[in-house]
Structure 1
Amino acid sequence: MTFRKDKVQGDPNTSKGLSAKEARKACEILLEEPLPDYPEDEELEKEQEREDQENAKQQLVLLQKTGNR
């Protein structure tokens, strides 16, 4: 599995990094102040959700194919 450049790598024991929303919240906690809103954050989050759904569909199809052997 590959990591996207706009994702911050989370727990090394998992295959998924932090979402943009999770990374933003972590930065706000560290800085102890809210970050300015960036419209592209929402676009990146939506794009990542679409990609995650597509990947899940592809994995399901692969599992169904290998399960039918």
Structure 2
Amino acid sequence: MAKTFEVKLKKSTIGCSQDQIKTVRALGLKKVNQTVVKADNPANRGQLYKIQHLVEITVKN
């Protein structure tokens, strides 16, 4: 079974750069406190690194 991340949007994207807003939307997050599950791969890790100050990340096995 592959590792996954549970990603929860904790802060609003108001005032963020357009690049960060697009990254949040690409992960499937639309509202504050919304949670999505994403696969652990280099592409998703890069996206999460870019918006780490906006989200809460939990590693699932």
Greater relative CO (CA pairs within 8 A, separation 6+) = 2
TM-score between the two structures when normalised by the length of structure 2: 0.31
Structure with higher Rg: it is: 1
TM-score between the two structures when normalised by the length of structure 1: 0.29
